[in-house]
């Protein structure tokens, strides 16, 4: 893989990984009814930031060159990694490896009577996994995918900055 191909792959991964994870979170919420707890929301915020940073990196790459874009991609990868770390903590709470936040609940729906929305909102516990596959919760999958993806972006950027002899 050439340095330019490595850079392009890093840029695309920095955008596609958080976009796919956010898409999956939104589908699980709005299609399958898996409402997020407070810690689930905490994992979403860095992904949103990573998407914005990756889009800005792509824009910077086309306008100014690779230096500004590379910095933005590194920040996007860092945000993805932070989401993964939050996911690891959340998974540990779900598996009861350590104590978590016990007052987790989701906010009411937008629109209509706000008090009725709050009163009718289901309480979503942070220490109970709503869904698992092979014993791994959504928070666990976020950790696995985000941590691997962030490391891959950093490795690809490192490879793209090596000078060929």
Question: For 28-61, how does the pLDDT look when each residue is reduced to its tens digit (9 = 90+)?
Answer: 999 998 888 888 888 999 999 999 999 998 888 7
The average pLDDT across 116-137 equals 74
- Who has greater pLDDT, 25 or 162? 25
- Rounded to 10 deg, the angle between the 38-63 and 3-30 helix axes is 150
Residues 105-143 as b/e (b if ≥16 CB within 10 A, e otherwise) read ebebeeeeeeeeeeeeeeebbbbebbeeeeebbbbbbbb
Query: pTM for the complete prediction?
Result: 0.80
What's the pLDDT score for residue 135?
A: 82
- Asked whether residue 100 carries a pLDDT value surpassing 60, the answer given is yes
Could you give the percent of the chain with pLDDT greater than 70?
A: 85
What's the pLDDT score for residue 107?
A: 44
What's the pLDDT score for residue 108?
A: 45
- Who has greater pLDDT, 107 or 127? 127
The average pLDDT across 10-37 equals 92
pLDDT band at residue 12 under the 50/70/90 scheme:
very high
What structural domains and CATH numbers belong to the chain?
3-161 (1.20.1550)
What's the pLDDT score for residue 61?
A: 79
CA distance 126 to 119: 19
């Amino acid at each position: 893989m050439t340095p330019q191909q490595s850079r392009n792959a890093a840029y695309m991964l920095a955008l596609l990984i958080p976009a796919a994870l956010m898409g999956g979170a939104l589908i699980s919420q709005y299609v399958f009814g898996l409402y997020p707890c407070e810690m689930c929301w905490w994992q979403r915020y860095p992904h949103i930031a990573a998407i914005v940073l990756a889009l800005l990196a792509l824009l910077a790459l086309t306008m100014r060159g690779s230096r500004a874009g590379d910095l933005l991609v590194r920040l996007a990868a860092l945000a993805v990694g932070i989401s993964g770390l939050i996911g690891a903590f959340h998974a540990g709470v779900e598996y009861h490896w350590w104590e978590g936040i016990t007052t987790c609940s989701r906010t009411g729906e937008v629109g209509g009577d706000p008090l009725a929305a709050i009163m009718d909102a289901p309480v979503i516990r942070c220490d109970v996994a709503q869904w698992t596959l092979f014993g791994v919760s959504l928070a666990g999958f976020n950790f696995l995918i985000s941590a691997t993806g962030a490391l891959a972006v950093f490795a690809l950027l490192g490879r793209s900055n090596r000078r060929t002899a």
